[in-house]
A and B are shown apart, each in its own frame.
Chain A
Amino acid sequence: MPNRSAMQDRITRSLAWSVAVFLMGMFLWILGDIAIHGVSSLSWEFLTTSPKNAGREGGIASILVSTMLILGVCMAVALPIGLGAAILLSECTHDHELAGTLVRRSLDVLAGIPSIVFGLFGNAFFCVTLGLGFSIVSGGLTLACMVLPILIRSTEEGFRALPPEYRLSAAALGLSQTATLGKLLIPAAMPTLLVGFILGLGRAIAETAALIFTSGYVDRMPESLWDSGRALSIHIYDLSMNVPGGDANAYASALVLIVLLLAINASAMGIGRRWASTRTRAT
Chain B
Amino acid sequence: MGLDTDARDMTEKPLTRSSLLSSESLGATLSTPAVRDLLSVQNLNVFYDSRQALKDVSLSITQGRITALVGPSGSGKTSFLTCLNRLTDLIPSCTITGAIHFVDHNVLAPTTDVLQLRRRIGMIFQKPNPFPFSIRKNLSFPLKEHGVNDTNTIEALIEESLSQVGLWKEVRDRLDSSALALSGGQQQRLCIARALMLSPEVLLLDEPCSALDPLSSGVVEDLITSLRGHYTIVIVTHNLAQARRMADTVALFWIKHGTGALLETQPTLEFFHNPQHDLTKEYIHGVRG
Interface residues in chain A, defined as those with a beta carbon under 8 Å from any beta carbon in chain B: 94, 163, 165-176, 179, 183-184, 187-188, 279-283
**What separation, in Å, do the CA atoms of A167 and B145 have in the docked complex?**
15
How many inter-chain residue pairs (CB < 8 Å) link A and B? 79
Asked if A283 meets B122 with Cβ closer than 8 Å, knowing A168-B90, A174-B146, A179-B145, the reply is no
**What separation, in Å, do the CA atoms of A176 and B118 have in the docked complex?**
11
Determine whether the beta carbon of B117 is less than 8 Å from that of A174: yes
Q: Can you report 26 A-B residue pairs in the complex whose CB atoms are below 8 A from each other?
A: A165-B125, A165-B129, A166-B129, A166-B131, A168-B90, A168-B129, A169-B191, A170-B131, A172-B122, A172-B125, A173-B122, A173-B195, A174-B114, A174-B115, A174-B116, A174-B118, A174-B142, A179-B145, A184-B141, A279-B178, A279-B180, A280-B181, A281-B177, A281-B181, A282-B178, A283-B132
Interface residues in chain B, defined as those with a beta carbon under 8 Å from any beta carbon in chain A: 85, 87, 90, 92, 114-119, 122-123, 125, 127, 129, 131-134, 137, 141-142, 145-146, 176-178, 180-181, 191, 194-195, 198
Determine whether the beta carbon of B134 is less than 8 Å from that of A175: no
Determine whether the beta carbon of A283 is less than 8 Å from that of B129: no
**What separation, in Å, do the CA atoms of A283 and B175 have in the docked complex?**
11
Determine whether the beta carbon of A280 is less than 8 Å from that of B198: no
User: Which residues from B are CB-within-8-Å of A173?
Assistant: 118-119, 122, 142, 145, 194-195, 198
**What separation, in Å, do the CA atoms of A170 and B141 have in the docked complex?**
10
User: Which residues from B are CB-within-8-Å of A176?
Assistant: 115, 145
User: Which residues from A are CB-within-8-Å of B181?
Assistant: 280-281
CB distance from B188 to the nearest CB of A (A): 12
Closest to B146 in A: A174
Determine whether the beta carbon of A183 is less than 8 Å from that of B145: yes
**What separation, in Å, do the CA atoms of A183 and B122 have in the docked complex?**
20
Determine whether the beta carbon of A171 is less than 8 Å from that of B131: no
**What separation, in Å, do the CA atoms of A40 and B114 have in the docked complex?**
68
CB distance from A176 to the nearest CB of B (A): 6
Q: A170-B131, A172-B85 are in contact. List 13 more A-B contacts (CB 8 A).
A: A94-B92, A172-B87, A173-B119, A173-B142, A173-B195, A174-B146, A176-B115, A188-B131, A280-B180, A281-B181, A282-B176, A282-B178, A283-B137
Determine whether the beta carbon of A175 is less than 8 Å from that of B87: no
User: Which residues from A are CB-within-8-Å of B129?
Assistant: 163, 165-166, 168-169
Determine whether the beta carbon of B180 is less than 8 Å from that of A183: no
**What separation, in Å, do the CA atoms of A281 and B115 have in the docked complex?**
31
